[in-house]
């Protein structure tokens, strides 16, 4: 620490002033969740807040995406990202501000319950707070803040839609991109990690063709059930025989559909697969191995048509840049002390990295704890974390309001100032 107060200390001296509106805003967001690509009320509230803080606001990027820009002299441009969407989950937290909202989803006319079960309401509230604090104390730093609020993280295409809708032209040159996620863990802690942090996820629908016939006359058929069964067995060798044991990868066949009746051989089978990998090379080789095996098994069965492949629900891997992460880690250690921790590798997936990848800039993504500290430590002591601490997407996922909001807000400010707080750092 230097003898004069750091930029972060100056900017965060006002954290207490943000707290009342942030807590109200957060509870309101939590009670009024919106599904992916329908974050209309949230986007309007975000735009209004950003304007109030003095940001130049561009709404409607990629649908409901919002970008606020604050130019404050020479220096780096730092992009801070929050995601906005909620999930079709029925809230069971019992909180006084629990959601009872419903909405229609997809093609169904039947409304589904909606809940901020992934904590994106925390992310939005923290980024608005950080944006406001940085605007109030612009004498303490120099450069540009880009506050980005993206739709539809849960579908994996919200970031991509903003990119495709001209994001680069809106934000201009950017030097670094930063994002965070609230997770199960002691509230008040922040966890960083270099290298792979979240997996890539790919779902694939595979349709294979057989020849239908009477169940008693297999000689007239190409049986798609047997074909699908051979594919499922052979796919087990992709991870076990083709991927190095030191490289994590998962290939799950989550669904098989074929046939209608015991004495009818059907004419096709549809398999749905999910693949998790942590780097682009492994990702590409596993997806290619699936195609190779399916094509070969169809030939082995003398299938009358080519198999069809459809990729969906795709998320890129999140691989934190070493130098960027080290800079944030050092700043966090200085500000948070022993509450700055190492984030374990997460098997979940995110589309955040689509933004820095498209902009051609390095990034880092960190976690903040959202669980009541006493409850978390008691669960660790009892060995019941998996059972007693609700995870993201659970109907019981309920981050404690504080110190979670203070921590997420501070983390964004501290990380951004690791670039903006030093004029010579560019
Ligand atoms: Zn989620
Ligand atoms: Zn999430």
Q: What is the pLDDT of residues 211-265, one digit of tens each?
A: 999 999 999 999 999 999 999 999 999 999 999 999 999 999 999 999 999 999 9
Statement: residue 426 has pLDDT above 60: no
Phi, psi values for residue 179, rounded to 5°: -150, 160
What is the 349 CA–ligand 2 centroid distance (Å)?
A: 8
Ligand 2 centre and the CA of 257: distance in Å?
30
Q: What is the CB-side half-sphere exposure of residue 424 using CA atoms within 13 A?
A: 0
Structure confidence at residue 325 as a pLDDT band (50, 70, 90): very high
Residues 6+ apart with CB under 8 A from 6: 334, 417, 421
- Compute how many other C-beta atoms are within 10 angstroms of the C-beta atom of residue 139: 10
Instruction: Please check the confidence at residue 402 and state whether its pLDDT lies above 60.
Output: yes
What's the Rg (C-alpha) of the chain?
A: 24
Q: How far is the CA of 415 from the centre of ligand 1 (A)?
A: 23
What's the mean pLDDT in 57-68? 98
Which structural domains are found in the chain, ordered by start? 5-197+317-417 (3.40.630.10), 200-315 (3.30.70.360)
Distance 34 CA to ligand 1 centre (A): 13
Q: From ligand 1's centre to the CA of 258, what distance in Å?
A: 31
Which pLDDT does position 399 carry in this prediction? 97
What is the reported pLDDT for 4? Answer: 60
> Can you give the pLDDT at residue 1?
43
Of the pLDDT bands very low, low, confident and very high (cuts 50, 70, 90), residue 2 is very low
Q: Is the pLDDT of residue 3 over 50?
A: no
Residue 423 confidence (pLDDT) above 90? no
| CB-based neighbours (< 5 A) of ligand 1, an ion | 118
Ligand nearest to the CA of 394: 1
Beta bridge partners of 364: 178
If pLDDT is split at 50, 70 and 90, which confidence band does 106 have?
confident
Mean pLDDT of 81-96: 97
Distance 120 CA to ligand 2 centre (A): 6
Distance 386 CA to ligand 2 centre (A): 19
pLDDT for 105: 79
CB 371 within 8 A of CB 188: no
* 291-318 pLDDT per residue, tens: 999 999 999 999 999 999 999 989 999 9
Q: How far is the CA of 182 from the centre of ligand 2 (A)?
A: 8
Ligand nearest to the CA of 121: 2
* pTM of this structure: 0.89
| Residue 22 CA to ligand 1 centre (angstroms) | 22
């Amino acid at each position: 620490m230097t003898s004069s107060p750091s930029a972060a200390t100056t900017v965060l001296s006002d954290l207490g002033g943000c707290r009342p509106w942030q807590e109200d805003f957060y509870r309101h967001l939590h009670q009024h969740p919106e599904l992916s690509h329908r974050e209309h009320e949230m986007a309007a509230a975000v735009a209004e807040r950003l304007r109030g803080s003095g940001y130049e606001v561009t709404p409607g990027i990629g649908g409901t995406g919002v970008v606020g820009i604050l130019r404050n002299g020479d220096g780096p441009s730092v992009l801070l990202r929050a995601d906005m969407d909620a999930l079709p989950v029925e809230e069971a937290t019992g909180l006084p501000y629990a959601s009872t909202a419903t909405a229609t989803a997809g093609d169904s006319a039947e409304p589904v319950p909606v809940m901020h079960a992934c904590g994106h309401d925390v992310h939005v509230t923290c980024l608005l707070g950080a944006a406001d604090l940085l605007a109030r104390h612009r004498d303490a730093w120099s450069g540009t803040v880009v506050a980005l609020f993206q739709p539809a993280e849960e579908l994996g295409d919200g970031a991509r839609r903003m990119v495709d809708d001209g994001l680069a032209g809106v934000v201009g040159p950017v030097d670094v991109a930063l994002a965070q996620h609230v997770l199960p863990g002691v509230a008040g802690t922040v966890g960083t990690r270099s290298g792979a942090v979240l997996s890539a996820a790919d779902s694939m629908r595979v349709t294979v063709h057989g020849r239908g016939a009477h169940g008693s006359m297999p000689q007239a058929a190409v049986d798609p059930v047997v074909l699908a069964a051979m594919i499922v067995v052979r796919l087990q060798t992709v991870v076990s025989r083709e991927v190095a044991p030191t490289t994590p990868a998962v290939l799950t066949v989550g669904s098989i559909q074929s046939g209608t009746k015991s004495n009818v051989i059907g004419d096709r089978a549809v398999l749905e697969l999910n693949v998790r990998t942590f780097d682009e090379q492994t990702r590409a080789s596993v997806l290619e191995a699936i195609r190779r095996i399916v094509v070969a098994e169809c030939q082995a069965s003398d299938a009358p048509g080519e198999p069809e492949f459809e990729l969906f629900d795709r998320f890129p891997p999140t691989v934190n840049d070493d130098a960027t992460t080290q800079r944030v880690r050092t700043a966090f250690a200085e500000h948070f002390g022993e509450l700055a921790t190492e984030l374990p590798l997460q098997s979940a997936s995110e589309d955040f990295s689509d933004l820095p990848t498209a902009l051609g800039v390095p990034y880092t993504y960190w976690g903040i704890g959202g669980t009541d500290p006493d409850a978390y430590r008691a669960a660790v002591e009892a060995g019941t974390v998996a059972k007693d601490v609700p995870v993201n997407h659970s109907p019981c996922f309920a981050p404690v309001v504080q110190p979670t909001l203070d921590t997420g807000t501070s983390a964004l400010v501290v990380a951004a100032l690791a670039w903006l707080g030093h004029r010579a750092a560019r």
